[in-house]
């Protein structure tokens, strides 16, 4: 017997019960992946002799910070790279990606984007938007080429091979960001890497791995990628569950992992040439980053389950979702196509209402800088902007899709989704 603490409409509860039953197989697969990846991570902790002293941080220049150096090794082993640089001083995913691009490319080199236009925030970094003199890659004499997806669905392997011949970096974005294309599986990333490398064995295959870590058993480095890059607050939750002496913690950061010579170039770009990874104090971040990485496979599984459940429930409520609830996942994002503004607003307000932090706040659509239409965002998270925690955001325009991600525990994620459905129900927006 469970109490209906949240006052969810009985008809929604009945559908949720059915939806959960129908998700059993996907949930079992997700658990199996979490077990596999959790073991990889545990092994990396043990093999690299993580000790209590690694949990302490340094100040000043950060010479000989054993926690920092060990964290890099743990990441590298778990992701299958030779080396890694994991730092709280990467201000976000874009910064880590920018560091990797500037680390690998030189004047006269060509950057080839293999699957269409990269994530919005990379446009300025590359120089596709912005002014001359901005300091973008193009501004520094790097050339840019792009191969679009065939029918906005599949990578164009022939065209990629053709353009790879004269490129230095083949850039692949795993997750779809704010587009409606499918996310790329690790298998497909392998095919793109193979196409590029068979045309040009020296090409550097770089993968924007945001939202993809630990969703599959393999990471892109095992199928031909040379470098993977991501943010720590997308899939790799750091510290947000644990109280830190000293109050609120600014959990943040990013990583670059892969070939040692390339990681070194990126490290030189992040700090200074010749100093690279040897400097950079960690303050009090080592414990959070190690603990967060340790929890990450399970946290990702909770987010995937929340997402699969949300898709199944909303399919039963008559909406289309991308991916469909039964599709194998390669990232933690789903879009729920909510058909009109009223639905979209009620859904996002419901997600906020069911969040552990700021549940009493009502999000509204606003003119966010850099976006063409109004955007509504729901996020009641312990770490600001952490999309591994249950969150939804949506531009107010066709097809009125809410991009949904996260859920650090499945029970709380599931209830957040139910509160969102209930919010739509209370406003008479559901056909029940």
Residue with smaller CB distance to ligand PLP, 62 or 116: 116
Check binding of 306 to ligand PLP (CB under 6 A). Answer: no
Check binding of 121 to ligand PLP (CB under 6 A). Answer: yes
CB of residue 13 to ligand PLP, shortest distance in Å: 33
Choice from 65, 72, 208, 315 touching ligand PLP (CB under 6 A): 208
Choice from 37, 48, 77, 94 touching ligand PLP (CB under 6 A): 94
Residue with smaller CB distance to ligand PLP, 237 or 430: 237
Rounded Cα–Cα distance for residues 235 and 296 (Å): 7
Rounded Cα–Cα distance for residues 291 and 286 (Å): 8
The two three-digit tokens of residue 360, written as one number = 């009493």
Residues 6+ apart with CB under 8 A from 223: 186, 187, 189, 190, 193
CB 420 within 8 A of CB 312: no
Check binding of 253 to ligand PLP (CB under 6 A). Answer: no
Rounded Cα–Cα distance for residues 209 and 79 (Å): 11
Rounded Cα–Cα distance for residues 75 and 86 (Å): 8
Residue with smaller CB distance to ligand PLP, 45 or 79: 79
CB of residue 84 to ligand PLP, shortest distance in Å: 17
Check binding of 251 to ligand PLP (CB under 6 A). Answer: no
Residue with smaller CB distance to ligand PLP, 48 or 251: 251
Residue with smaller CB distance to ligand PLP, 45 or 211: 211
Choice from 93, 127, 292, 380 touching ligand PLP (CB under 6 A): 93
Q: Which residue is nearest to ligand PLP (CB)?
A: 93
Residue with smaller CB distance to ligand PLP, 99 or 286: 99
How many chain residues touch ligand PLP (CB under 6 A)? 12
CB of residue 43 to ligand PLP, shortest distance in Å: 28
Residue with smaller CB distance to ligand PLP, 38 or 253: 253
Distance of CA 156 to the CA centre of its chain: 24
CB of residue 175 to ligand PLP, shortest distance in Å: 4
For residue 159, give the nearest of 197, 127, 114, 201 by alpha carbon.
Answer: 114
Rounded Cα–Cα distance for residues 328 and 323 (Å): 8
CB of residue 271 to ligand PLP, shortest distance in Å: 20
Order of strands across the sheet that contains 143-146: 83-87, 254-258, 227-231, 204-208, 169-173, 110-113, 143-146
Rounded Cα–Cα distance for residues 353 and 351 (Å): 5
Check binding of 210 to ligand PLP (CB under 6 A). Answer: yes
Residues 6+ apart with CB under 8 A from 25: none
- Distances 298 to 98, 247, 253, 404, 424 between C-alpha atoms, Å: 29, 26, 19, 19, 30
The two three-digit tokens of residue 35, written as one number = 């077990």
Check binding of 177 to ligand PLP (CB under 6 A). Answer: yes
Residue with smaller CB distance to ligand PLP, 156 or 393: 393
Q: How many helices (H) and strands (E) does the chain have?
A: 11, 12
Q: Which residue has the tokens 């230095």?
A: 168
Choice from 175, 235, 299, 306 touching ligand PLP (CB under 6 A): 175
Angle, alpha carbons 307-309-314 (nearest 5°): 95
Stretch that binds ligand PLP, among 34-42, 204-212, 260-268, 365-373 (CB under 6 A): 204-212
Per-residue binding string, ligand PLP, 52-91, x by CB under 6 A, is ----------------------------------------
Check binding of 211 to ligand PLP (CB under 6 A). Answer: yes
Positions touching ligand PLP (CB under 6 A) are 92-94, 119, 121, 173, 175, 177, 208, 210-211, 231
């Amino acid at each position: 017997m469970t109490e209906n603490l949240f006052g969810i409409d009985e008809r929604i509860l009945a559908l949720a019960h059915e939806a959960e039953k129908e998700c059993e197989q996907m949930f079992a697969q997700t658990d199996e992946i979490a077990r596999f990846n959790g073991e990889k991570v545990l092994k990396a902790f043990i093999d690299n002799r993580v000790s209590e002293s690694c949990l302490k941080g340094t100040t000043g220049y950060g010479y000989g910070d054993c926690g920092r150096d060990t964290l890099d090794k743990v990441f590298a082993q778990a992701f299958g790279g030779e080396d890694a640089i994991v730092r709280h001083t990467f201000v976000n995913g874009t910064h880590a990606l920018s560091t990797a691009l500037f680390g690998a490319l030189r004047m006269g080199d060509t950057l080839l984007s293999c699957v269409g236009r990269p994530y919005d925030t990379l446009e300025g970094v590359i120089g596709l938007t912005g002014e001359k003199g901005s300091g973008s890659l193009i501004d520094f004499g790097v050339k840019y080429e792009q191969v679009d997806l065939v029918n906005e669905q599949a990578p164009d392997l022939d065209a990629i091979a053709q353009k790879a011949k004269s490129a230095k970096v083949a850039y692949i974005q795993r997750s779809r960001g704010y587009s409606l294309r499918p996310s790329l599986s690790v298998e497909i990333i392998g095919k793109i890497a193979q196409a590029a490398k068979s045309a040009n064995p020296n090409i550097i295959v770089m993968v924007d791995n945001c939202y993809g870590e630990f969703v599959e058993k393999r990471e892109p480095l095992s199928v031909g990628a040379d470098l993977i890059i991501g943010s720590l607050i997308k899939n790799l939750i750091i510290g947000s569950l644990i109280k830190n002496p000293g109050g609120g913690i600014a959990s943040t950061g990013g990583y670059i992992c892969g070939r040692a010579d390339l990681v070194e170039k990126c490290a030189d770009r992040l700090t200074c040439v010749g100093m690279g990874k040897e400097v950079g104090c960690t303050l009090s971040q080592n414990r959070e980053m190690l603990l967060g990485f340790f929890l990450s496979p399970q946290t990702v599984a909770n987010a995937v389950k929340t997402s699969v459940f949300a898709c199944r429930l909303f399919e039963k409520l008559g909406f289309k979702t991308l991916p469909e609830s039964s599709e194998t996942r390669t990232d933690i994002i789903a879009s729920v196509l909510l058909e009109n503004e009223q639905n979209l607003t009620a859904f996002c307000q419901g997600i906020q209402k069911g969040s552990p932090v700021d549940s009493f706040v009502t999000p509204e659509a606003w003119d966010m800088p850099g976006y063409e239409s109004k955007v509504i965002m729901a996020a009641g998270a312990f770490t600001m902007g952490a999309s591994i925690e249950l969150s939804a955001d949506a531009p107010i325009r066709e097809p009125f899709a809410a991009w949904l991600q996260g859920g650090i525990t499945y029970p709380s994620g599931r209830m957040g989704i139910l509160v969102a459905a209930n919010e739509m129900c209370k406003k008479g927006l559901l056909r029940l």
